[in-house]
Amino acid sequence: MWYVVQTVVGREKGAIEKCRTALDESVAARVFTPRCQILKKFHGEWQSVEQIAFQGYVFLESESPKELEKSLMRIPSVVTPVRIGGGFYPIREDEEAVLRQMMDEDNCIRTSEGYLVDKKLVIEKGPLQPFTEMVKKIDRHKRTAMLGVRLFEECRDMRVGLSVKGIMTGDEYRGMMESA
């Protein structure tokens, strides 16, 4: 199960290292923060960079919640357990499943590629293929999409990489697919 702790925005890497040092692997099997690969233009060239998906949060995988919470008390200046309804609970299984499906083995959501066909997004390649309905907004110039991701039963915005290759009609798209 995945648990979430809060830390200072911009200090997530340091918090991960301190958690890995302070927590035994039997208590926290993994300590990570989901990241997103996006494309940015530097000196006229598109380059791939990784950004933290949920700034200020660190995720911990654990099957020992009581031990985890107790161990986290040893590093209070670094992380604070996210308490929902007064308790330290894991994120919901369905929320974890969506994030697991999007991320690769390096905890990164890679850039997806697609087309706008009759004003609807068609993702042809990448981890967003089964999650098209989560896309709230597309920024074609920055090659990003804003997703509405459920976390602790609330919708949270997450910016991910999305390269829209073109805008076309359904007939144009079908013709392109037939000729490929």
Span 124-167, pLDDT tens digits:
999 999 999 999 999 999 999 999 999 888 899 999 999 999 99
Identify the band that residue 24 occupies on the pLDDT scale cut at 50, 70 and 90.
Answer: very high
10 Å CB burial of residue 88 (0-12, 13-18, 19+) is middle
Structure tokens at 11: 């200090």
Look up residue 38 and give its amino acid. Answer: I
Per-residue pLDDT, 111: 97
Chain centroid to CA 4: how far? 13
* Tally of CB atoms within 10 A around 102: 25
pTM of the model: 0.90
| Arithmetic mean of pLDDT, 25-49 | 94
**Which stretch of DSSP H or E encloses residue 135?**
strand 135-139
CB 40 within 8 A of CB 139: no
Residue whose pair of structure tokens reads 């918090």 in the numeric block: 15
10 Å CB burial of residue 109 (0-12, 13-18, 19+) is buried
DSSP classification of residue 84:
B
Identify the band that residue 71 occupies on the pLDDT scale cut at 50, 70 and 90.
Answer: very high
Residue whose pair of structure tokens reads 């007939």 in the numeric block: 171
| Arithmetic mean of pLDDT, 53-70 | 94
Q: What are 178's strand-pairing partners?
A: none
| Arithmetic mean of pLDDT, 81-105 | 92
State how far the Cα of 21 lies from the Cα of 16, in Å rounded to an integer. Answer: 9
